[in-house]
Chain A
Amino acid sequence: DAGVTQSPTHLIKTRGQHVTLRCSPISGHKSVSWYQQVLGQGPQFIFQYYEKEERGRGNFPDRFSARQFPNYSSELNVNALLLGDSALYLCASSFDTGGSGELFFGEGSRLTVL
């Protein structure tokens, strides 16, 4: 079975631009969460979606938004990019919501903002 897939794997943007990152969860998984990981640090929680509804949001500005589609894939959008948005963006899927199941991470989308 395919794991969590993310696209694009690498991208370079300039300040002020907009970016859309995509994630396809493992088949059968209904929950998708997004994390930002800056080099040398642990992943920081951005959003969690379950059954197309937002179930949680981390301490990120409104420039960050996300959505989940009927097929459970998800998009993360970041507007008005700042240099500080440069990071690895990880998507993780899980079968359900709640803290009792493992997260399966994708390889991530590495965003560089110039």
Chain B
Amino acid sequence: QQPVQSPQAVILREGEDAVINCSSSKALYSVHWYRQKHGEAPIFLMILLKGGEQKGHDKISASFNEKKQQSSLYLTASQLSYSGTYFCGTDHQGTYKYIFGTGTRLKVLA
């Protein structure tokens, strides 16, 4: 069951904030967030582990609600470089068998 992301697409002006949500129908061990630009490989943004541990970049924040099986990625003061498709990757068993979400296309305009 593929995690569902919302919104599917969002357009922002530079400096605006955005929230991207990821919802799973199964209990989660960890949630990863990746950004992929067109024609490029996905790059790691954030990992959130069951129990509250987080690892990621300083300018990215995220939350992980274990009970609701949801995660949200918070993008503040967006920059042009934030444009791309964002994927959450959910891991249910503590392995790297990630199930990636449906994706959110984000475009930041000058």
Contacts and interface: CB of A to CB of B under 8 A. Distances in A.
Contact of B41 (A31, A48, A105): A105
> What is the predominant secondary structure among interface residues of chain A facing chain B?
loop
B40 A107 contact: yes
Chain B contact residues (Cβ within 8 angstroms of A): what range? 20 to 34
B102 interface: yes
B49 interface: yes
B25 interface: no
24 contacts: A42-B2, A42-B87, A42-B100, A42-B102, A43-B42, A43-B87, A43-B100, A45-B97, A48-B97, A55-B95, A55-B96, A98-B94, A98-B95, A99-B30, A99-B93, A100-B47, A100-B53, A100-B94, A101-B47, A102-B32, A102-B55, A103-B32, A105-B41, A105-B42
